[in-house]
Amino acid sequence: MITQMKKYTFLVFHREYEEFLRRLRDLGVVHVSEKTEGITSDEQLMLKQQMADRLTATIARVEQNLPEGATPLEATSGSQGGELIAQFEQLVNEKQALVQSQEELLRELNKMSVWGNYSTEKLQALADAGYVVQFYSCPQSQYDESWEELYNAFVVGKADKTVYFVTICRSDEMYEIDAQEVHLNEHNSVQLKSDIDAVHALEVAKQAQIEAWAIAHLDELRQALQNTKQAVDWSRVTLSTETLADSSLKLLEGYCPIENCDALNSMLNNAHIYYVAVDPTEEDNAPVKLRNNWFTRMFEVLTGMYGWPVYGEFDPTPILAPFFLLFFAMCMGDAGYGILLILFGILTSKKKINISMFEGLGPIITTLGVGTLVIGFFLGTFFGIDLYTASWVPDVLKSVMIKGSVMGYDIQMVLAICIGVFHICLAMIVKAICYTKRFGLKKNIATWGWLLLILGGLVTAIFTVTEVFSPQITKWVLIVIGAVSALAIYVFNTPGRNPLINIGAGLWDTYNMATGILGDVLSYIRLYALGLAGGMLGAAFNSLGLMVLGDTPSVLTWVFFILILIVGHLLNLCMSALGAFVHPLRLSFVEYFKNSGYEGKGHLYKPFSVNS
């Protein structure tokens, strides 16, 4: 549901304006109506917003470096955000320099390890005595063994089809060999390993320093972010203020939920602030504050993915929530996978599993798991096992499972189509009611005509098949429905317009409805297809595991059997969960939202407050 708002206009004397804004912020119930043209061009506001973004990103990085179980110290100083960011960046850069140094040493060690534990002092002593030791490498196919006689070549080692060798000659008899000369590092492999260990120790110490800094300053960063956000909000409000009467008066507009109006009115009256409170109109583009129960509130994140409702529009979440749960469970279609989702959701909620993309989604994952467990049982699938054919499942449980066929079609496929028809009809009912409330009956006569034609036709068909209506009654009911619907769709769809134009518009609308509704209904077959595909793939992994196990299982075959089941069902669970999320979302965002007329172009209520 959408909370009712009041639109406020405040008129304040300029000397009292800052105090008024402080009181308004402390109360924290007014969503200020912003002026885009002033906000987007203000450089100072942009700089503050950039600082807030930098602080947000830095806090996320600092939190990653906070030791597990550690509690940040309470902020005692008001350090500037820029200073804190610079300190953290310096520590991180110092650590990164150590990491890069270690990587360079490792690369050098890989190059020098083939030459063994050589001594640069002894090589220098040979050079002082007039002998030169040269180091070479070349592909194994190009190495010429005659070099050993001609140039005193000695093979040191071979690796990756490359030959490494040295030559010894007098300084006045330098050789020219068709090979790549290698220049040794001043440190041999033993010394390089020691260097790597030393740099690694410095890296560990630097990481400990970063962690200590995180404990000491994380709360200061959060406080700096809070202060910066408040400064941003203050600037946005002041830039949205209109100046009147030669800068003597300040005019500000905002919106307040109706349940907070008494507190706001009391503050304004005590401060002797002139204000006007009215009901917002469609053109005001008022913010929306959703008010849902604990179950529906979990699915608000899905509504936000599409777009928030416009004020005066309907909140789709109460209908989206149960249908998305049903669709997800049908697409998963396996009670065993439902149990795994429940466990995953609970562990995510309790922070036992920390995956950033699932942060805060533990409750909804658990709920989807419960739905999958229930629907999976009725569909008769448990980790790819067909419960309906399993001998160990009691007949009383099998009796409630959805199995069989209707007119030669699988009952689960028929059920998916029926759910789709109901879902689309519900969308059309919602559209007719909400559009009439928003725009009036005169502009929605055609909408009611289509609803009467489709819904009335379905109800009549059901009553006829169940013999509630006799053929004669059915005939007259269909005539009445057809006549009234035709008048609404083709003649009175836009009262006051040329009838010929109305007829043309009605024909075009008929074409769109005929092609669109059929495609929309058929889209719901995916609920059956995805559940069937997941069940078949799970059964295939079961069969593969049993084939490996064989008739005379051994310890090794049992290990492979368990491994195949774990890996196979985990893979199937991930693929099924992805499909079960995407396709129900599509049915909600495309089929349902399109037929319900949902726009989703609104913005959320964000009050001007100290905690914003």
CA distance 200 to 196: 6
CA distance 497 to 502: 7
Give the pLDDT band (50/70/90) at residue 550: confident
**pLDDT tens per residue, range 322-337:** 999 999 999 998 999 9
In this predicted structure, the answer to whether residue 76 has a pLDDT above a threshold of 80 is no
Give the pLDDT band (50/70/90) at residue 357: confident
Highest mean pLDDT among 36-45, 106-115, 554-563: 554-563
What percentage of the chain reaches a pLDDT higher than 70? 98
CA distance 317 to 305: 12
Mean predicted lDDT score pLDDT of the chain: 87
**pLDDT tens per residue, range 219-239:** 989 898 888 888 888 888 888
What percentage of the chain reaches a pLDDT higher than 90? 35
Token pair for 57: 């990103």
The per-residue pLDDT for 500 is: 77
Q: Residue holding tokens 């946005």?
A: 236
Which residues 6+ apart lie within 8 Å of 412 measured at CB? Answer: 379, 402, 528, 531, 532
- Output DSSP code: residue 308: B
Give the pLDDT band (50/70/90) at residue 241: confident
Predicted TM-score (pTM) of the model is: 0.77
The per-residue pLDDT for 41 is: 67
38 contacts 239 by C-beta, under 8 angstroms = yes
In this predicted structure, the answer to whether residue 612 has a pLDDT above a threshold of 70 is no
The per-residue pLDDT for 78 is: 66
Domain ranges of the chain: 5-81+220-284, 119-183, 294-596
**pLDDT tens per residue, range 395-426:** 888 888 888 888 788 888 989 999 998 999 89
The per-residue pLDDT for 346 is: 93
Q: How many CB atoms lie within 10 A of CB 514?
A: 10
**pLDDT tens per residue, range 507-544:** 877 777 777 788 888 899 999 999 889 989 999 999 99
Q: How many CB atoms lie within 10 A of CB 433?
A: 16
Closest CA to 255 of 610, 602, 9: 9
The per-residue pLDDT for 335 is: 92
In this predicted structure, the answer to whether residue 75 has a pLDDT above a threshold of 80 is no
